[in-house]
Amino acid sequence: MSIGILFGGSSYEHEISIVSAITMKKVLKKNELEFIFIDSDREFYLIDSDNMKSKYFSSLKYKKAKKLNLKYGGFFISGIFGSNILNLDVVLNIIHGRDGEDGKIASLMEFYNIPFISPRIEASTLSYNKLYTKFLAKSLGVKVVDYEHLNKSDKREIKTPFPVIIKPVRLGSSIGVSIVKTKDELEYGLDIAFEFDEDIIIEPFIEGIKEYNQAGCKTDRWELSIVEEPEKDEFLDFDKKYMDFSRDSKVLSADIDDELFDKIQDSFKTIYDPLFLGSIIRCDFFVVDGEILLNEINPIPGSMANYLFEDFDLTLKRLIDHLPQEKKISIDYKYINSIQSAKGKA
């Protein structure tokens, strides 16, 4: 199986994506991998497998790599005698944040008819924006953590009792996130979040809350991972997430009863199907007084949450065999021709 690993992008999470791509090299050893890097200028580069090291990118040595062009049917390498297509069975999008999770890559892949693993356009739009994610979950009957929304132009007053957690609406990896414990700290917390986004959400910060992660996809069956109870401090900051995204060793399943396990998996299935078909996502849930609350959707989880699956490679292969197909629309100009014929014109 030839898989193109698409990573990088013009995003605050650019470096996280590089870490995920390096991890995929270790995880998907049984496959033929091609590494396609998008730099901050949105240029495509074909990266040799031997150069998949973080310093190769930070030193800008990648600029000496072969450039790729995106055309109908795939990625092309330009040469003296024309351009040759990069032979790929599928593209795995692991660009975290802007470009990868906001729908731009999904749009390009669909427009150029390239098979890809990633949320489709509508799913990207709804999961990239934390406010829209709340709307989606509530519309599906999945409960969410209480929240309020604040725009940069709004008056800096909140109703949620302290302590609170403040998050930029369109960002992941805990970038711009802070815990505000008193009113005196509020202004600083808002300043940090508004550095990264015009919109933020404020949620109650519940000390010691139980959190569970569920990853998976749907092929001709449900491909669900174990349920993980992540070890964490107050919250995972960027540095901890950076290390977390390089995980490739299996973790233990959460010690929970069957009823809670079923509730978490049922909530995941409700969120996933049919909107996220064609992708592997991870949902993070909180449990408060026995109720399952969606915390957030990770549409392109770090290292594709490979460490949660018993056989990630097999899961990926089955997903590749069951990717959604965009409907082919036949254009025959029947309407225009009928009008021209009625007017007596050829």
Top-tier CATH class for 148-204: alpha beta
Q: What CA–CA distance (Å, rounded) separates 44 from 27?
A: 23
Q: Does domain 126-144+207-320 have CATH number 3.40.50.10860?
A: no
* Residue 61 pLDDT exceeds 90: yes
- Domain ranges for the chain, please list them: 2-118, 126-144+207-320, 148-204
For the chain, what is the total number of helices (H) and then of strands (E)? 10, 16
Single-letter amino acid code for the residue at 278:
G
- Residue-wise pLDDT for 47-56, tens only, equals 999 999 999 9
Q: Which residue from 277, 269, 279 is spatially nearest to 316, judged by alpha carbons?
A: 279
- Residue-wise pLDDT for 135-146, tens only, equals 999 999 999 999
Q: What CA–CA distance (Å, rounded) separates 14 from 6?
A: 12
State percent of the chain over pLDDT 70.
95
Domain range 2-118, CATH architecture: 3-Layer(aba) Sandwich (3.40)
Buried b (16+ CB within 10 A) or exposed e, 81-108: eeeeebebebbbbbbbbbbbbbbbbbeb
DSSP-assigned letter for residue 56: H
- Residue-wise pLDDT for 23-56, tens only, equals 999 999 999 999 999 999 999 999 999 999 999 9
Give the dihedral sign, CA 58/59/60/66: negative
Put residue 91 in one of left, alpha, beta given phi > 0 → left and psi -120 to 50 → alpha.
beta
Q: Is the peptide bond before 324 cis (omega within 30 degrees of 0)?
A: no
